[in-house]
Structure formats: structure tokens, C-alpha cells
Amino acid sequence: MRYTYENETLTVYLEGNFDTNNADEIGGKLQEIRSEHPEGKFVIDADQLSYISSAGLRQILRIRKKEADFRIINCSSEVYEIFQMTGFAEMMDIEKGYRHVSIEGCEKIGEGSNGIVYRINPDTIIKVYKNSDALDDIKRERELAKTALVMGINTAIPFDVVRVGDKYGSVFELLSAKSISKLIIENPDDRDHYIRIFADMLKEIHATKAKEGVLPDAKQTVVKWVEWLEPHLPEDTYRKLHQMVSDIPEHHYVLHGDYHTNNVHYADNEAILIDMDTLAEGHPIIEFASIYMAYRGYGELDRRAVEDFLKIDWDLAGYIMDKLFEFYFEGKDRAFIDSVMDKAKVIGYTRGLRRTIKRNPDQSDLIAYYKEKLIEYVSKTDTLTY
């Protein structure tokens, strides 16, 4: 038995069997440890607990009667079944544990602000969340993926939550699929074919009506970005930017929110969307802003930022973005597409400036650059819609 006491939480780690042979000894030790740290929450981590008998359950019940905030976590299926069969799972907070998965030697196929995606075998991928306490985020993303699937968007199917070291991961079925990025790199002569698939998927997403009240409103997110930047912008720039964002019409259709060629995979003649935690509803101009930043904006001072993120070189990234919008706006001339991209840059530079100030305040050159570009594009833009 070992324990930790951090953030007013006493966590005791049990290993092996908790039965007639040692129940009194363990019970006494638990009381002794608690008396040394009487304040705050009391947690028993049962990750390494193999078995608990009725004698062990009686010791747990004694603790339960004394403790206002007591729970047991990381129970194996066998131990959790005992708690469930005896009614303990109904009278107190007992959490089932998660199987452990190793990503050692696995192919890294994508990375976002919240997690890193690996392929763990030909049929499945795993998204490992950077936040060590990500269960709520995982639950939310799994619900969003199911929502998208029900609405007719072809998404990877989540089927398990696992532990990866001290972090959590969500496992998805993605049968022998390859990312659009990889297919373009492996098949340079067919790159336009795969970019068209990429564009068609985006058009399908944007044509899908969102269920009322299910998805967050992307416009409100952008409004919050703008309001956060008020102290950092000239007053006239701020007022005009806020008005233009506020004037974006309500648009109850789906946006992915992080759309790039690593998040679209292809297998058996169908495109499959992954990484659903940014799913929202809103006007496509907000999506285009995210795409612009992924393929150009984040690398305008240092191309490596784009190349490291997308795993493709700078010139190919630019080609993919240009072709994407050419296919998306098929029939429109280049002047129209360029005007849409200029509007998208306003939102993109807003996002880039806020993000850099919050995450990397020491990057003064990048902050100054985004601020300058935002002021420039706001001054020559009158509306963010097209």
C-alpha cells in the first residue's frame, strides 16, 4: 500500500488481494493514513487491486460511513463487478478503470491543440489527450462524433476509452484508411483527385443542417476572441472588427473547426472525418479562417510551423489550400475566391493574435505581425460574408 496527498486529496493505492487474510490490517492502515491527513477528499485507486472479499467490503463500508467525499477509482472489470453485485456501486462513487494501451512505435498521424492521434494497428487509431484529466473532454468529443454520424457525416466511430501512461485516450475504428495528406504525398500525379475528395467532404459538412441546441455557435466563439483582444487593438479597429463579426448572419449548418488533410482519411472509396472536438455550427467563413491559418497563417513568419503541423512542405500546403477553394467554389473566378480569403484572414489573424498572446507572450515578433495584419485587413474589409 502506498499513498499520496496532493491538492487536498488523499489517494491510497491498493495492490493484490483485499480479503480475510489482511482486511483488518489494511483497514487499520487506511485509518492511520487518514488520521495523518484528515482534510479533503479520500480516494482509493484500485488499479492494481486484484480481488476484494466480503471482509474487504466491510472495511470499505466503514470508511464510507465516516467520509463525506469518498470514492474508488480505476477498478478492474472483475473488481467492479463485485462492487456492482453487492450494491456498493449504487451507494457510493465507484469508477470502472480503463485498459492500458502503449503507443510506443505507433505512427503519429496528426496533432491538435487538445491531443495527438496515433495509428495503433491497421484498423484503429487512438487520440491521446494532452490534458491528464480529460474524461469530460473525451465524453464531449465522443458525443459530437455520434451526433455527426447521425446527421449523415461519415466519421470515425469511437468505441473505447483507455489509459496511455498517465493520460487518457479515445479509440476509434478507422479501417485501413490513410490521411489525405499521406495519399497526396504518396501519389503526386493524383493529388488533384484527392484534393477534390477533400473539398467535396467540406461541402458535405457545410451542407449539413445542425440539430438545434446540440452544437456550439462558432460565431459566439469568435465574438469572445474579439472582445478578449479589445485592450490590444486600436479603438477604431476593435469597434469595426466587433461590428463585422456581430453582423455575420446566423447559420445553422455544421463546421468542423479544424479542417485539414490530416483530419480527413480515405478508404474503400469514402472519406472519413476524424478529430471532432471542435465541431460547431456557423457560417463557412469561420471555417475558412481556420483553414487559412493551418495552411498559411501560422507559418507566415516561420514556415516550419505549418510544415511541422501538417507534415507537408510549404509549397505543397499552399497548393492544397488553393485547389481546395478552387474546387469548393467551382464556377467562381479567382477574384471572388481571393475576396473570400481576405475576409477569412480577418478572423484568422484575430485567432492567431489572441492565441499567441495567451500561449506564447514572449513571441513579440509574431504578436506584432498578427496585430499589423489584422489592422490592415480590417481597414480594407467592410463585411465578412460573401
Predicted structure pTM score: 0.79
pLDDT (0 to 100) of residue 141: 87
pLDDT (0 to 100) of residue 360: 95
pLDDT tens digits, 243-278 = 999 999 999 999 999 999 999 999 989 999 998 989
CATH number, domain 178-379: 3.90.1200.10
pLDDT (0 to 100) of residue 324: 98
pLDDT (0 to 100) of residue 289: 98
Q: How far apart are CA 84 and CA 281, in angstroms?
A: 40
Q: How far apart are CA 35 and CA 338, in angstroms?
A: 69
pLDDT (0 to 100) of residue 122: 85
Domains of the chain, by residue range, sit at: 2-96, 107-173, 178-379
213: which residues sit within 8 A by CB, 6+ positions away?
none
Element (H, E) at 73: strand 70-75
Confidence of residue 90 (pLDDT cuts 50, 70, 90): very high
CATH number, domain 2-96: 3.30.750.24
pLDDT (0 to 100) of residue 159: 84
Position 29 pLDDT exceeds 90: yes
DSSP classification of residue 209: B
Position 136 pLDDT exceeds 90: no
Q: How far apart are CA 276 and CA 308, in angstroms?
A: 21
The domain 107-173 having CATH identifier 3.30.420.40: the answer here is: no
CB neighbour burial string for 260-291, b if at least 16 within 10 angstroms, e if fewer: bbbbbbbeeeebbbbbbbbbbbbbbbbbbbbb
pLDDT (0 to 100) of residue 251: 93
pLDDT (0 to 100) of residue 59: 96
Position 310 pLDDT exceeds 90: yes
Given the DSSP bridges, would you call strands 254-255 and 178-179 parallel, antiparallel or unpaired? unpaired
pLDDT tens digits, 188-229 = 999 999 999 999 999 999 999 998 889 999 999 999 999 999
pLDDT (0 to 100) of residue 113: 75
How would you class 352 by CB atoms within 10 Å of its CB: exposed for 0-12, middle for 13-18, buried for 19 or more? buried
Confidence of residue 34 (pLDDT cuts 50, 70, 90): very high
pLDDT (0 to 100) of residue 96: 87
Between 20-34, 44-58, 127-141, 218-232, the lowest mean confidence (pLDDT) is in 127-141
Which residues make beta-bridge pairs with 62?
A: none
Percentage of the chain modeled with pLDDT above 70: 100
For the chain, the average pLDDT equals 94
Position 98 pLDDT exceeds 90: no
pLDDT (0 to 100) of residue 61: 95
Position 175 pLDDT exceeds 80: no
Cell matching residue 54: 466480503
